[in-house]
Amino acid sequence: MGTGSDMAKLRLGDNEYDLPIRVGTEGNRAIDIAKLFAMTGHIALDDGFANTGSIMSTICYIDGEQGILRYRGYPVEEVAEQCEFTEAAYLLIFGELPNGEQLEAFRGNIRRHTLLHEGMKAIFAGFPPYAHPMAILSAVVGALAIYEKEFGDPGNPQQRLLAMHRMLAKMPTIAAFSYKQSVGQPFVYPQNDLTYCQNFLNMMFAVPSEKYKIDPDFAEALNLLLILHADHGQNCSTSTVRMVGSSNVNLFSSISAGIYALWGTLHGGANEACINMLENIAADGRNLGKYIDKAKDPDDPFRLVGFGHRIYKNYDPRATMCKAVCNRLVKRFAGQDPLFDLAQELEEVALSDPYFIERKLYPNVDFYSGIIYRIMGIPKDMFTVLFCLGRLPGWIAHWREMHLSPDKRIHRPRQLYTGHTKRSVVPLIKR
């Protein structure tokens, strides 16, 4: 793994140490510190892992300065515009675009497992009506470790493959059932003659009492959105799937952990939080200046949700595509969407403000995606559930890559201890 290498010199006191430099296929470079502690007795410290790579990976390439994102070498724009979601999922997981036969077999393996064990319906019934669908989703996905326990050994290639098929197959069903549970409607079962996206929309919006007509523009927009969200390197939730999976727990439990990580408003929860922010600004007289000032105020916890990114110091290419989809759908439907107009005005004001310019803060994938979901009639608390649906192939691809690696080991970071030195317990009576 990694192509080419030269050496970095580390000088500590009178000693000098050689640290190998690994060079990636796009010329990105890393100092390999795998032997740092053994050689020097020192660890490296990097709060938030902003400068630390946990692994070498061949799945996704991001150039944050240029705003480039590629899945297995293919620009995300091309994959999103030319592929169907299961095709993109196959690419991320197995590394190559499938031919017709491979894709049909893959889709067949997914179609056959879209139903849940009937016993799982009781889990949904146990949640109160106010339960957030993300909490339901992660809990029910975690329960797959019980109902699909025969696919629990990540060291067994056949079990690994079957677990991946079942996870991809059941996620839309669990997601749609989470929504139906939250609105008190009966579950609508998957229809295996529909595409992945059509099936999800049908399970979300159909009711047993009448036929639901799937809007082709919505199915196409959802397909593009899911692909845009499908993978993004070692983001918080993917790193969580790898961290949890590295202990050799089953795929379902690893994915359940990733769902919780994605829920945070600093991560995938930002799409829901962004719409809330836009609605608040609209309700507050569209006072953009007030909120831009709040976002810039170091003493104000308010941040411009949907803006900024740890890696992108340029426009997130996914935000560009989401904005174009917004334009298309708004033109077709309302002709105008007050929140979309507000978001564009907010972007224009922010991108001309020195605070955002100096910090290279641009719209990220979560800034416009919520507006699309809203036009499609997806309720706000389902926005991050859809992010999960999209990110699932990426999570699976990284979990599989980890288990295929001959260097696989449990993830266990070290720490720098800054607490008390040794002291003795004082008996309670004397405290």
Which residues, 26 to 65, sit near ligand SDX by CB under 6 A?
48
State the residue for tokens 């992945």: 196
Q: In this structure, what token pair is assigned to residue 192?
A: 């295996």
Among 169, 304, 321, 396, binds ligand SDX (CB under 6 A): 304
**Binding span for ligand SDX by CB under 6 A among 129-137, 275-283, 296-304, 408-416:** 296-304
User: 372 near 318, Cβ under 8 Å?
Assistant: no
User: 253 near 147, Cβ under 8 Å?
Assistant: no
Annotated active-site residue 193? The verdict is no
Among 267, 286, 313, 411, binds ligand SDX (CB under 6 A): 267
Q: Which is nearer to ligand SDX, 216 or 301 (CB)?
A: 301
Q: Is 295 in the site for ligand SDX (CB under 6 A)?
A: yes
User: 319 near 364, Cβ under 8 Å?
Assistant: yes
Give min distance, CB of 208 to ligand SDX, in A. Answer: 36
Q: In this structure, what token pair is assigned to residue 316?
A: 């997130």
Q: Is 359 in the site for ligand SDX (CB under 6 A)?
A: yes
Q: In this structure, what token pair is assigned to residue 322?
A: 């989401």
Annotated active-site residue 316? The verdict is no
Residues linked to residue 10 through DSSP beta bridges, in sequence order? 17
Among 163, 227, 230, 270, binds ligand SDX (CB under 6 A): 270
Q: 32 by DSSP, 3-state: which?
A: coil
State the residue for tokens 């002709």: 335
Catalytic residue among 132, 229, 309, 398: 309
Report the alpha-carbon distance of residue 346 to residue 280 in Å, rounded: 13
**Binding span for ligand SDX by CB under 6 A among 88-96, 137-145, 174-182, 358-366:** 358-366
Q: In this structure, what token pair is assigned to residue 101?
A: 């036969």
- Number of residues binding to ligand SDX, judged by CB under 6 A: 23
Report the alpha-carbon distance of residue 202 to residue 191 in Å, rounded: 8
Q: Which is nearer to ligand SDX, 208 or 298 (CB)?
A: 298
Q: Is 357 in the site for ligand SDX (CB under 6 A)?
A: no
Report the alpha-carbon distance of residue 393 to residue 153 in Å, rounded: 19
Active site residues: 309, 366
Q: Which residues bind ligand SDX (CB under 6 A)?
A: 48, 232, 235, 266-268, 270, 295, 298, 303-311, 359, 361, 364-366
